Amino acid sequence: MATDTLKRDTGPGTDPGRGAAGRALVRRVLLDNGALSALVVLVAALSLLSGDFLTTQNLLNVGVQAAVTAILAFGVTFVIVSAGIDLSVGSVAALSATVLAWSATSEGLPVWLAVLLAVGTGTACGLVNGALISFGKLPPFIATLAMLSVGRGLALVISQGSPITLPDSVSALGDTLGGWLPVPVIVMVAMGVATAVLLARTYLGRSMYAIGGNEEAARLSGIRVKRQKLVIYALSGGFAAVAGIVLASRLASAQPQAAMGYELDAIAAVVIGGASLSGGVGKASGTLIGALILAVLRNGLNLLSVSAFWQQVVIGVVIALAVLLDTLRRRTA
Amino acid sequence: MSIPCTPGTSPGSPEPAKSPAPPGELLRMEGARKAFPGVVALDSVDFDLRAGEVHVLLGENGAGKSTLIKMLSGVHTPDAGRILVDGREVHIRTAQDAERFGIATIHQEFNLVPDLSVAENIFLGRQPRRCGMIDRKRMNAEAAELLARVGVDVPPQARVRDLGIARLQMVEIAKALSLDARVLIMDEPTAVLTTGEVEKLFGIVRRLREDGVGIVFITHHLEEIAALGDRVTVLRDGRSVTQVPADTDEDELVRLMVGRSIEQQYPRESPDTGPVLLKVSGLTRNGGFDDISFEVRAGEVVGLAGLVGAGRTEVVRALFGADPYDAGSVEVLGRKLPRHDVIAALEAGLGLVPEDRKGQGLVLDASVQENLGLVTLRKATRGGFVDRAGQRTAAERVAGQLGVRMAGIDQRIRTLSGGNQQKVVIGKWLLAESKVLILDEPTRGIDVGAKVEIYQLVNRLTESGHAVLMISSDLPEVLGMSDRVLVMSQGRITGELTRQEATQDAVMALAVKDVEGSRGH
């Protein structure tokens, strides 16, 4: 009798208890990351609205579509965490892709060398940005705005204004692995992991947070702020180059006009992911989610046959809402 | 709406019997209380002000003076208690409210727009207009009248940027008069002035008093109290201790203010001194400071006293490598430091706890642990990767040693009290094993209890062979904690005093000393 009551008491007591704890955990994870909950809601809604959305093929498509923005955005995350801004990543991506195509075709360099040269080009552009900011004392907005123009211009000069078709050996980079896993997705994941490790574990990453949080305090604590900034912008340039290569290999050609305006998508992804434009806050996972939200939205709106014009409107509203929600959440926390 | 200039009356309707205010009383505060996270700044404080008097507000830093005047100027609203103007209860929620009640405040930092003219600053937002356009002629004429009333010879068209600090203060006073202020609150107005300028300011204050203005005057210079004041309210640890006439003996005022003997407040124990750890020779920056030479030995606390603007912070920033200098040298443990190189300085064993804790000392949105590990981040890195576990253990250890009161090592530093934040700033240099610590205003904005903890920490540091160079504008603190006091005035060291020689008067005399051939006036 007594044991029975005990059993009956504990039985129904523990089960809902465990369920409630699980629900609380899910709720906390979602609340702690506003962008993640937005992504979950978005995916759920699109799955209901369109039967074509939740298929492996389409999800891989979304991954491919997100890849370029995400890789650009990972690089921009470094810059934004350290309280800077990089407007040049779209142009630098196009320039790097053009350098890749030009060196692999006109100059006949082997693919690996052409890729190296392209990444070197992007990194060099970033170094110039960093030097202008650290030593020329230009505001990051101005320095990278100048590079936005220079990069695009150089891409047009090298390509003489027309797309360069990539040799098959290079466009293979846009193919799939094992016949189903797209290489751009693999590159995106690899770059994301690298970003996460760099930000969380390395001296460079930790000093980015310190510089973004309080540059003067960081300087007075012995962090070489100028040198770090050079590296930060160089990283952003290098990531942009990788994004440019991924984009070109997908299109099987390097187009000097490609990736125009992508810098704004990249910044949007970083900000939707919870980073603060005033610096000191931001994560690789957040940036990835931000890029996925943009890609899922575009993909979903296409599936629902929403016109491209209205898509722009919706994306703008989503950016504003995401950041607004995040701000509200922080204020109440 | 115009403010009546005769105290005790209100415009229009005559006051019926309901007038509890004694004749001539402008302002009364009863049982005021204000708490901030982690500290009660003010508790059951009473204060009153009559027309035509100078009421001195006296207390140590952190005693609650600033909080009190911020309640009167609409920056803070009291958590409890009430404020009466002309015997009627009022709520001062904004600066506009304060203005409406005829209360003007002259803060230590002036609220002037540097690139506008004196007249435009005086009438900012209220410029006299004609047909929608600003009537410059009338504005300048009215400004000239106000400036004449203050007794300062500044043309109304002069740009504020071109004025010296004393004249800026006069412009602020003229601005207050233009608002028909009957209550004028002056927060340490003499702290930045030379002796001659102080005399001039006193003349102006006396004239305003004769005009029936009530003046709340904050000062740390005790001799000014008898010279200018009528009554003194002493605040201590956020409470009003007592009210005494202004001719009260200075020693008595100190006793009331500190509430305990200086020995208890400043628990300095001077250990034996060791070798010279920091040697500065002929350090000069053109237009900043000139020929600064001194030494600090192991086990020693050297105080660097002087008025705000004497160049103390500039000197320590330059010797730490944060800013460049033009001539001279800095040696730490016998090794000469390269110029303008923070990393060389901290690797040699220097540590700087800057004046602006939040702006320069801490990354406010980072955790306690991250802030503690900032200087050692580099040393804890192997092959680019930070030894996070090691950093964490070290931070835990130092936070424990310093008695940082926190929920945990991952708490955001922004949410800690000022005293605990300061412990973290000092802690990051302890982790870096700095031998020479430069403390620039280490107890500014910290409550009394936490101050004593900081002093005890300084004692422990010097006992263990560290050297401490301490800048402080708080005279009792400099006198109480220093083994030697260096005094700076106008960018030069004007004297060095031993612990025995160092009195308030001796330090002040050196601090206001005019340096021959120094920068122009």
Among residues A250, A115, A268, the alpha carbon closest in space to that of A175 is found at A250
Intervals of chain B under pLDDT 70: 1-21, 37-39, 61-62, 259-265, 447-448, 515-521
Query: What's the pLDDT tens digit per position in A264-288?
Result: 999 999 999 989 888 999 999 999 9
Q: How far apart are CA B372 and CA A264, in angstroms?
A: 36
Identify the pLDDT of residue B21. Answer: 60
Nearest CA to CA, how far is A212 from chain B (Å)?
9
CB-closest option in A202, A224, A280 to B386: A202
Binary contact (A222, B375; C-beta < 8 A): yes
Q: Which residues of A are less than 8 Å from B377 in CB distance? A: 203, 206-207, 210, 221, 223
Mutation site, B337, B371, B374, interface A, largest A CB count within 10 A: B374
Whole-prediction pTM value? 0.76
Tokens found for residue A218: 């960081």
Q: Which residue has the higher pLDDT, B331 or A180?
A: B331
Domain definitions of chain B by residue range: 25-259, 260-349+434-521, 363-433
B260-349+434-521 belongs to which homologous superfamily? P-loop containing nucleotide triphosphate hydrolases (3.40.50.300)
Give the helix/strand (H/E) hosting A135: none
**Count of residues making up chain B:** 521
Kindly list the residues of chain B whose beta carbon comes within 8 Å of any beta carbon in chain A. 320, 322, 342-343, 346-347, 352, 354, 359-366, 370, 374-375, 377-378, 381, 384-386, 388, 428
Binary contact (A202, B378; C-beta < 8 A): no
Query: What's the pLDDT tens digit per position in A282-302?
Result: 999 999 999 999 999 999 999
Kindly list the residues of chain A whose beta carbon comes within 8 Å of any beta carbon in chain B. 201-204, 206-207, 209-210, 213-214, 216-224, 280-281
User: Residue B349: closest CA among chain A residues belongs to which residue?
Assistant: A222
Identify the pLDDT of residue A71. Answer: 98
When the pLDDT of each residue in chain A is averaged and rounded to a whole number, the result is 88
Binary contact (B428, A221; C-beta < 8 A): yes
Asked whether this chain's domains B25-259 and B260-349+434-521 adopt the same fold, the reply is yes
CB-closest option in B359, B360, B384 to A202: B384
Identify the pLDDT of residue A15. Answer: 45
DSSP B72-116: HTTSS--SEEEEEETTEEE---SHHHHHHTTEEEE-SS----TTS
CB-closest option in A201, A217, A222 to B362: A217
Look up the CATH architecture of domain B25-259.
3-Layer(aba) Sandwich (3.40)
Q: Which residue in this structure is represented by tokens 């508790």?
A: B43
Binary contact (A220, B322; C-beta < 8 A): yes
Looking at 1.10.3470, 1.10.1660, 1.10.10, 1.20.120, the CATH number of the domain A54-326 comes to 1.10.3470
Q: In angstroms, what is the C-alpha Rg of chain B? A: 25
Binary contact (A201, B385; C-beta < 8 A): yes
Identify the pLDDT of residue B192. Answer: 72
Query: What's the pLDDT tens digit per position in A87-116?
Result: 999 999 999 999 999 999 888 889 899 999
Whether residue A232 has pLDDT greater than 80: yes
Q: Which residues of B are less than 8 Å from A333 in CB distance? A: none
Q: What angle do CA A119, A122, A124 make, to 5 degrees?
A: 105
Q: Which residues of A are less than 8 Å from B375 in CB distance? A: 221-222
Identify the pLDDT of residue A5. Answer: 38
**Count of residues making up chain A:** 333
* Cβ atoms of A256 and A98 closer than 8 Å: yes
CB-closest option in A207, A213, A216 to B377: A207
Q: How far apart are CA A282 and CA A209, in angstroms?
A: 9
Domain definitions of chain A by residue range: 54-326
Identify the pLDDT of residue B403. Answer: 87
Supply φ then ψ for residue B338, to 5 degrees: -70, 155
Instruction: Provide mean pLDDT across the span A104-133.
Output: 94
Whether residue A12 has pLDDT greater than 70: no
The distance between the two most distant Cα atoms of chain B, rounded to a whole number of Å, is 83
Task: Please report, rounded to a whole number, the percentage of residues in chain A having pLDDT higher than 90.
Answer: 66
* Cβ atoms of A167 and A104 closer than 8 Å: yes
- What distances in angstroms separate CA A247 from CA A5, A333, B148, B174, one per listed residue? 66, 40, 73, 66
Nearest CA to CA, how far is B364 from chain A (Å)?
7
* Cβ atoms of A122 and A151 closer than 8 Å: no
HEC readout, B355-390: CCHHHHHCCCCCEHHHHHCCCCCCCCEECCEECHHH
